[in-house]
Structure 1
Amino acid sequence: MNILLIGEYSRLHNSLKEGLIKLGHNVILVGTEDGFKQFPVDYNYGASFFSRSKLKSFSILINRLTSLNLPQIESAIRFYRLLPKLKEFDTVQLINENSIKTNSTLEIWLLKKIIKNNKKIFLLSCGIDHLSVKYAYDKKFKYSILTPYHENQNLKDYYKFILLKLQRPAIKLHDFIFKHINGVLASDIDYHLPLLNHPKYLGLIPNPINYNKIEFIPLSITNKIIIFHGVNSQNYIKKGNVFFDEALEIIKNKFPDKVKVIRTEDIPYNDYIKVYDACHILLDQVYAYDQGYNALEAMAKGKVVFTGAEQEWLDYYNIEADTVAINALPDANKISAKLEWLILNPENILNISSNARAFIEKEHDYITIAQKYLEVWKH
């Protein structure tokens, strides 16, 4: 089968591609490398000219004066130039509803060409799309990435990009995509719940993890327990990192001789995954029901990860709380209490570490997951 994957987000499509190739299929991945994370793609349509430091301020000024987003227009032009190479695929999968990273009008125009020149089109829900944002905006989650906005309307500018998904252009793009796709898939519980009972929903397929590329590092606690907190500054509020920082202050003051904290900010993906090799505990995100890619890869390495691990996730995989990952709640005191439990009971760190790796191998094996995609794409 010839397969085209459009867009990249947290290395999901790279891992899926690796699984599909193992199963004997031809796969082309086009994308933007996801900003500073620099994920590999076969063809890159990300804005490069207007991303240069000397032109960034110019493009921002033009956007303020005219509402024109020059990087988005550049992405559209670069994608358009790739169109001759993006034909006659059996299956095309979009990483989300804005996979080309341009404005809604241009996105629709370019997607029409993709739809015309290929056989089947599928959508993956694994990021900020209309339905998941509306579900969160309507407070159907007990907490979500929109919780800080609900609690503080002064954050409206910070949430501008997300809230755009509720406005007419994004809704028009959403309606167009759902009219033409063969189906939509969710990558985890956070996207599964908003899609339940939708007529085009084909189900949840867990994130594929190529754990053969991720060395399991058996943990040894001989001195201090190392806690890693890697921050993406753009998502600091949405991910709830403030609760981790507050919890870490509590822990550092309470156990100065027992813990070492490593904190990074906005480092490339390949550097990020190396920096946390030495840690025992990794702090990922708060406002989630399930794990994203960073958490899953850390779990594959055998780290004890504080992340989304809500009851809905426990029920879906039929596992017990605090045995595979730690559910990080939006409460610094509760997070610090869980950290203290681990610090005072280091055997729990070792048990969760081995359980985490076993869970990834069982539920997120990239070849098994690729096979599940193939089965659904027959729809």
Structure 2
Amino acid sequence: MNILLFGEFSGFMNCLKVGLTSLGHNVFLASDGDGYKNFPSDFRWDRYSSHLSRRFLSKPKYKGLVYLTNLWQNRSLLRNYDVVLFISPYIFRNRLKINEAIFDYIINNNKRIYVSGAGMTKITFDYWYNSKTKYHDYCEGSLLDEPQCPFLINGNMKGWEERLLSRIDGYIPIWYEYAEPYRNYPCIKKTIRIPINVNQFNYRPNELNNGKILFYHGISRLCKGVRFIKPAFEKMQKYYSDQAEFICAERLPFSKYMEVINKANVIVDDANSYSVAMNALFSMLQGKLVMGGAEPIANKELGLEYNPVYNICPDVDQICDVIKEIIEKKDQLQRLGEENRKFVLKYHDHIKIAQQYLDLWKADLDK
């Protein structure tokens, strides 16, 4: 099968590509590397060799035009595939006409088209923002991250998404959060768990650093609950400075992020979600403990018999209670870390997950 993966979020497509190629399929990945995270890709539409284009790329208002030009000049790389999987309905959220032009070309020049439910969309935003749930807090945090959030101010986005959903062969969510708002859309497929390249990182015994347990939170976006996590860290530092250390760091490239992870014992992922994402799973693969989303309804969506993630909420005191619970178990870190790695191997192995995608696509191609 010839497969085009289009876009990238946190290494999702890289892991899926490794799984698909391991199963003997031809896969081409086109992306922008997910911005500052700089993930590898077979084709990067954000990289352009000409001096003029580099000058334009330094000016945000011209980036969309330069990216579109780069994609158009390399359009031969984007056609004649059996299957295309987009990471999102958006390549350029603030430039719908450019976005539509890219999708139109790819839809018209390939066989089967799918969109991954792996990030915020207008449909998702509206559903959760109007709810009384912890994911409402995620949406509120998104507005703090991006005051001119197009999901709020651009009324045309929902219409674009619904037109796209009517043209594709399937919408494939990765989480409960991205499945629930789409239940009434005919193109929704069964939720498929996140693929993790289980060969990418080795297990490291989870051991104390000079007798202290190290908690780490990577501040990438405010929507992940740093306004609850950071005060919890500060509060617990006062009471447990002799037993624990607490670190927050901002916007690290993926390679640097994983260097920091190597030193940490506990990763605090997201206080506002029902599920955990790529970086948390990469950490668990290495034997780290994780605090993040592990709501029962999300575990059921993913078909999990158990989940070793410590569930946290947008509540400083609740987060403090979980931190205290983990500190009291610090003599069990290595055993708990081994269980976390086994969890990822059982439920997120990139080859097993890739096979689920292939089964879905093959069934549609055979129709």
Q: CA deviation at 1:141?
A: 3.5
Q: Is the 8 A contact 2:85 2:113 kept in 1?
A: yes
Aligned residues: 359
The equivalent residue for 1:219 is 206
> Segments of 4+ in structure 1 off by > 4 A?
47-56
Q: Is the 8 A contact 1:6 1:100 kept in 2?
A: no
Q: CA deviation at 1:335?
A: 0.6
Return closer, same or farther for 1:324/1:51 CA change in 2, 3 Å cut-off.
Answer: farther
The equivalent residue for 1:37 is 37
Report the 3-state secondary structure (helix = DSSP H, G, I; strand = E; otherwise coil) of the residue aligned with 1:211.
Answer: coil
Candidates 301, 306, 312, aligned match of 2:291: 306
Whole-angstrom distance in 2 between the partners of 1:51 and 1:280? 44
The equivalent residue for 2:124 is 132
The equivalent residue for 1:65 is none
Candidates 258, 276, 286, aligned match of 1:291: 276
Alignment of structure 1 residues 328-339 onto 2, 5 Å: 328-339=312-323
Q: Is the 8 A contact 1:324 1:353 kept in 2?
A: no
Per-residue CA distance 1:273-307 (angstroms, 9 max, x = gap) = 11111211111111100111111111111111111
Candidates 104, 108, 114, aligned match of 2:100: 108
The equivalent residue for 1:174 is 161
Alignment of structure 1 residues 49-198 onto 2, 5 Å: 56=58, 59=59, 69-99=61-91, 103-139=95-131, 141-146=133-138, 148=140, 158-164=146-152, 167-198=154-185
Q: CA deviation at 1:169?
A: 2.8
Higher deviation after alignment, 127-136 or 286-295? 127-136
Return closer, same or farther for 1:146/1:248 CA change in 2, 3 Å cut-off.
Answer: closer
Whole-angstrom distance in 1 between the partners of 2:194 and 2:52? 32
Whole-angstrom distance in 1 between the partners of 2:170 and 2:299? 26
User: Identity over the aligned pairs, expressed in percent?
Assistant: 29
Report the 3-state secondary structure (helix = DSSP H, G, I; strand = E; otherwise coil) of the residue aligned with 2:115.
Answer: strand
Higher deviation after alignment, 263-272 or 138-147? 138-147
Q: Output the amino acid matched with 1:243.
A: F
What are structure 2's unaligned runs of at least 5 residues? none
Return closer, same or farther for 1:26/1:157 CA change in 2, 3 Å cut-off.
Answer: closer
Whole-angstrom distance in 2 between the partners of 1:185 and 1:82? 27
Whole-angstrom distance in 2 between the partners of 1:182 and 1:76? 24
Whole-angstrom distance in 2 between the partners of 1:38 and 1:241? 23
Whole-angstrom distance in 1 between the partners of 2:297 and 2:130? 19
Q: Is the 8 A contact 1:31 1:100 kept in 2?
A: no
Return closer, same or farther for 1:219/1:142 CA change in 2, 3 Å cut-off.
Answer: closer
The equivalent residue for 1:4 is 4
What are structure 1's unaligned runs of at least 5 residues? 61-68
Return closer, same or farther for 1:176/1:79 CA change in 2, 3 Å cut-off.
Answer: farther
Q: CA deviation at 1:347?
A: 4.1
Q: Is the 8 A contact 2:86 2:116 kept in 1?
A: yes
Report the 3-state secondary structure (helix = DSSP H, G, I; strand = E; otherwise coil) of the residue aligned with 2:71.
Answer: helix
> Are 2:254 and 1:262 equivalent residues in the alignment?
no
Query: If the length of structure 2 is used for normalisation, what is the TM-score?
Result: 0.90
Q: CA deviation at 1:102?
A: 6.5
